[in-house]
Structure 1
Amino acid sequence: MFRDLPRYPEMTVSQFWDAKVPSHWEVHPGLAVLAENRRKNDGLIESQVLSLSYGRVVVKPVEKQRGLVPDSYESYQILVPGDIVVRPTDLQNDQASIRVGHVKDRGIITSAYIGLRARGSWSDAYAYHYLAVVDSSKRIYGMGSGLRQQLGWPDLKRMPCLVPPPEEQAAIVRYLAHANARIDKAIVAKRRLIALLEEEKKAIADMLLGQLDEGAREVRHVLSQLVDCEHKTAPFVEGEPYWVLRTSSVKSGEIVWSGAYTTDAASYEVWTSRAVPEPGDVIFTREAPVGEAAVIPDGRRVALGQRTVLMKVRKEIMDPQFLVYQVYAGLPRRPISLATQGSTVGHFNMDDIGWMRVAVPDIEVQRQLVNKIEDANSDANEAIDKTQSEIALLHEFRTRLVADVVTGQVDVRSIVATLPDAPEATAELAADSDDEFGDLQEEGL
């Protein structure tokens, strides 16, 4: 399905794509194939709130409708299945988020986003794929205007749009449905493998730490400082050496750098004005999700983002890695589990964290236990790293494949004729840290 895809026999140069495209495909401005959504939620006729998250337009649960919410949802726009939504804001600061989503449910979304629907010669499914490739290829970042480089309908309506014949649009959409199903199936299998390996690691930690309560004390007694790092989102600056760690940057006791992003020196100074995170400190998430922790490593200057807590550990009485292992398998695990019981969100305030109890055996005993856990986990960690790299490659392959198919770099018509009517069903992928910068995509919602 993926090998030896033929090229179209006759191609012509497209300046917008810096590549050749099929000669028989038409090119129209966005105005000819897209219409701006103008359905407002006047009279509050719709109450189901939608959110653009990790490139998917999803129904936003009531318990997550907090923070920057409007006084009235009358200002929101109504979207219906088949519509397309684009997040147009802050192009200069955030060049990594997925900005385009395809609507599956009727609902309302902030009018700060651009709602679109296909018209004329475009099908809604091909229109979505085309705009998603404009986004993933970074062309969207050269289209905005103004001081904050904000994208608007005037930019999109002038955008050159490839228009294959209707039967080819249908073939492209059908091929991508099958291709994405296969890629999704492979990713799901690899994530299941990682989950099994993480369970194996947890079982080892439970065996060594599960019943340990020697010298139990409150967390606040083993810290020199406990800092709530609640801030607004720092601006993204590509290539800068200052890393912002968010809740998506911490998972299963490790720093996940794909869930972090870089910022500039001025923003770093603001973010570290209360406390500078140093190697050996511990980052703890107090919400979304609650109860993830990791030791801050050497080699990178970091700041901590929203809903995270900085723990400066008194290293003469507590090994930082031993504290992290206890978060997952020791005395703190029970209150953390209770915080999320019966809730999809979960929340810890600073007092909750400070009063958590942890075992405090002799420091040498702690280090011995850490070494035992790490030795037992070495093979699993190696397998997890390899599998995560394979998942990243699958994501890269998907991005390139979709771009090549949508822009006519390959011809999928002949292979589509051999495919079954419907792609193989695949469980929907859960959003995780492989989907970068998810928090940024709900800005202002």
Structure 2
Amino acid sequence: MIDGLRPYSETKPSGLPWLGEMPSHWDVRRNGRLFGSRRETGFPDLPVLEVSLRSGVRVRDFENGTRKQEMGDRSKYQRAVRGDIAYNMMRMWQGAVGVVPVDGLVSPAYVVARPFEETDAAYYAYLFRTSAYMREVDTFSRGIVPDRNRLYWEAFKQIPSVYPPFEEQRLIARLLDWHGAQTAKLIRAKKKIIALLNEQKQAIIHRAVTRGLDPNVCLKPSGIAWPGDVPEGWDVVPLKRLASFKSGAGFPVSEQGGKDLDIPFLKVSDMNLAGNERYIEAWNNSISQQTARALGAYIFPRNTIIFPKVGGAMLTNKRRILKRESCIDNNIMGCTVRSGIIPYVFLTLEQIDFGKVSKPGPVPAIGEGEVREIRVALPQIEEQQKILEWLDSETRSIDQAVNFAYSEIALIQEFRTRLIADVVTGKLDVRSTATSLPEAVEYEAIVELAEDDEFEEAANELENEEVAA
């Protein structure tokens, strides 16, 4: 169906450098002719909304322990009505914008734009998140330093946007919603394959790091519930004998967004970025040495093992290894290995379920003291190395299959990004194709496209930024 899309037969210059040619029956209008400003307060009982850097606006999940559980004074929070556009003034240039799914509250750090009668908010949410439009947003944003630029309403309403006829806007949004749902199903299937392969790999690893490679080895009770009996020659020691543990530092929103600075500053969401399946190869934020000192942020050395220490993220039992010196935020803990082979200690840590040793309470969490006392069973260095070499050989084909599945997902997402850009800017005509598609699309299906998305939280913005109401 998508293969049948063709360019428009007649085009004209748009007058916008980022847009180029556009269909001859389309127009260009400033956002002030498409949207009005909504500034309404005094609705404290509405749910609080948050905006994602990629997938739009959602109701904030207060059950997720990695986020603040208490809101401050809601009197300054703005009402956003279902169907409005909401964006984060400081992160619009990164795509922190979307359609409001339900009536709710947003931080004063957000702008709420009410679509006029002939404006389809869903179409413009797609347009606003294209890379070309985000670059245009950046030129209209103002601030002391580029990474902290804000897009105020007065500037937003001056930005020129492409304007298809209203019914065509709706058809474009319908096709992209449908394609998003189909893409989400395909990605979900790939992720299920990855999960099964990883389960197979973890079973192999678990057997090797708890029993060794000799099936006939004599065993002894370890005194630890999770490995049970272990080979006689292995030592049972607390983790503090092997490594030091230290939590990260607070990371104010005012310091986030820095690119290509001295030191990566990692958040839990960075552990989910493509390429970060074991070693941290990518990150969304960095800071200078001077800022690190000002924040009191410890710089963790290369080869530190990091893991989430609070909330639902902790329960996933994810572990990663730093490839370079980095700072980590206060939802993460670092493990600097002093004794043993780092990859082997990493695999040993992966076998520990922190949920079973975390502090009791509504939000699961684990502290440095608890982690240090966790007991593990370890072979001698020579045997650690043999186990690592055997695992590398035994799991290589699984890793290749997982990497192939991830590369397929990346290609699928790349195709969708290109399709969105081509469709919303009038490079491809969707009218005849979209007319035959259903209007309603399950929201959950589209959410799958950004399962590991990063959210900008209203509470943090209020605490760390003084924002003009």
- TM-score range normalised by the length of the shorter chain: 0.7 to 0.9
Work out which of the residue numbers 361, 371, 375 in structure 1 matches 2:379. 361
| Cα-Cα RMSD | 3.1
2:114 match: secondary structure:
strand
Hey, what's the Cα distance between the residues in 1 that align with 2:441 and 2:75? 39
State the partner residue of 1:250: 271
- Is the 1:184–1:426 contact (alpha carbons within 8 Å) kept by the matching residues of 2? no
How far apart in 2 are the matches of 1:305 and 1:149?
Answer: 23
In the TM superposition, 1:218-233 aligns within 5 A as 218-223=238-243, 225-233=244-252
> Any idea what the Cα deviations from partners look like across 1:267-287, whole Å, max 9, x if unmatched?
466678634412x32223212
Residue 370 of structure 1: how far off its partner (Å): 2.3
Count the aligned residue pairs: 428
SS in 2 for 1:138: helix
Given the alignment, which residue of 113, 116, 127 partners 1:116?
113
Residue in structure 2 matched with residue 52 of structure 1 by the alignment:
51
CA distance in 2, matches of 1:258, 1:371: 27
The reply on whether 1:322 has 2:344 as its aligned counterpart is yes
Task: Return the letter of the residue paired with 2:461.
Answer: G
TM-superposition CA deviations, 1:386-415 (whole Å, max 9, x none): 222222222222122112111111111122
**Structure 2, unaligned stretches of length 5 or more?**
211-226, 463-469
Structure 1 residues 228 and 342, CA, compared in 2 at 3 Å: closer, same or farther?
A: closer
How far is the alpha carbon of 1:135 from its aligned partner? 7.5
SS at match of 2:308: strand
Write the letter of the residue equivalent to 2:58: V
The code of the aligned residue for 2:51 comes to L
Q: What are the residue-to-residue correspondences of 1:42-441 with 2, within 5 Å? A: 42=43, 44=44, 46-54=45-53, 55-64=55-64, 67=68, 71-89=72-90, 97-133=94-130, 137-147=134-144, 148-210=148-210, 211=227, 213=230, 214-223=234-243, 225-233=244-252, 234-240=255-261, 242-250=263-271, 254-267=278-291, 274-278=298-302, 280-288=303-311, 289-290=313-314, 291-297=317-323, 300-315=324-339, 318-329=340-351, 332-333=352-353, 335-337=354-356, 339=358, 346-419=364-437, 427-430=445-448, 435=453, 437-438=454-455
Deviation at 1:119, TM superposition (A): 0.5
Q: Aligned in 2, Cα 1:69/1:143: closer, same or farther, shift over 3 Å? A: farther
For 1:140 and 1:180, locate their aligned partners in 2 and report how far apart those are by CA, in whole Å. 24
Superposition deviation, residue 127 in structure 1: 2.8
Q: Deviations over 1:340-362 (max 9, x none)?
A: 9996x531112122122221321
Q: Which runs of 5+ in 1 are unaligned?
A: none
Give how far 1:76 is off. 0.5
Contact 2:187 2:449 in 1 (8 A): no
Q: Is the contact made by 1:76 and 1:110 (CA closer than 8 Å) also made in structure 2?
A: yes
Q: 1:228 to 1:130 in 2, by over 3 A?
A: same
The TM-score, its normalising length taken from structure 2, stands at: 0.81
| Alpha-carbon distance in 1 for matches of 2:286, 2:127 | 28
Superposition deviation, residue 442 in structure 1: 7.2
Distance in 2 between residues matched to 1:411 and 1:104, nearest whole Å: 27
The more displaced of 32-41 and 206-215 is 206-215
Question: For 1:407 and 1:398, how far apart are their aligned partners in 2?
Answer: 14
C-alpha distance after superposition, 1:214-265 (max 9, x if no partner): 4222211211x32221231554333446433322333696135345444445
Q: Percent identity?
A: 25
**CA 1:136–1:215 in 2, change beyond 3 Å: closer, same or farther?**
farther
The residue type paired with residue 130 of structure 1 is: L
Cα 1:262/1:398, change in 2 over 3 Å: farther
